[in-house]
Amino acid sequence: MKRLHGAFISARYSTDNQNPDSIEVQVQKCTAWCNQNNLPILGVFADEAVSGMKDTRPQYEAMMEQLRMGLADTVVIYDQSRMFRKMEAWFSFRSEMTKMGVSVISVTQPTIGKDLRDPMNFLSEGTMAMFSQVHALMTRQKVIEKMRHMAKNGQHT
């Protein structure tokens, strides 16, 4: 299948408590990268207030549908954690991109998106994916403990 030459930008932030500007920052940095590399931007997909531990997100799914139709040859992300914080989902995404012949570029992590058949590239991406998931699990654990503490003290959680 002949793919259109150009990039889809994918951005995400996790919760309603986060600053929506984070999407703007991600898109701005990805746009700058595309402009510097003469890569046309064919679409922007931004999931707001959706956890990186979820592999079902409306904008992500819309992007994937368009990629399956051949409407871009590159996905540009701010960093790996903005795509997924779940190792399994990250590698599933990367596997599908490889099968489709779609490049993945992280504007802040130049080692992300390389050929995963190379052991060092696999180790680098795998390590980053593992740290992203550990970060999410630790944050979840802290939030649960804080909520338990607040409930124990009769505070609204």
Measured CA to CA, the distance from residue 75 to residue 31 in angstroms comes to 12
SS3 label, residue 41: strand
Q: Read off the pTM.
A: 0.81
Cβ proximity of 23 and 11 under 8 Å: yes
Q: Cα–Cα distance between 157 and 145 in angstroms, integer?
A: 11
Average pLDDT by stretches of 10, the chain with 157 residues: 91 66 90 98 89 75 97 96 87 95 95 90 86 74 75 78
Q: Using an 8 Å Cβ cutoff, are 103 and 74 in contact?
A: yes
- The per-residue pLDDT for 84 is 87
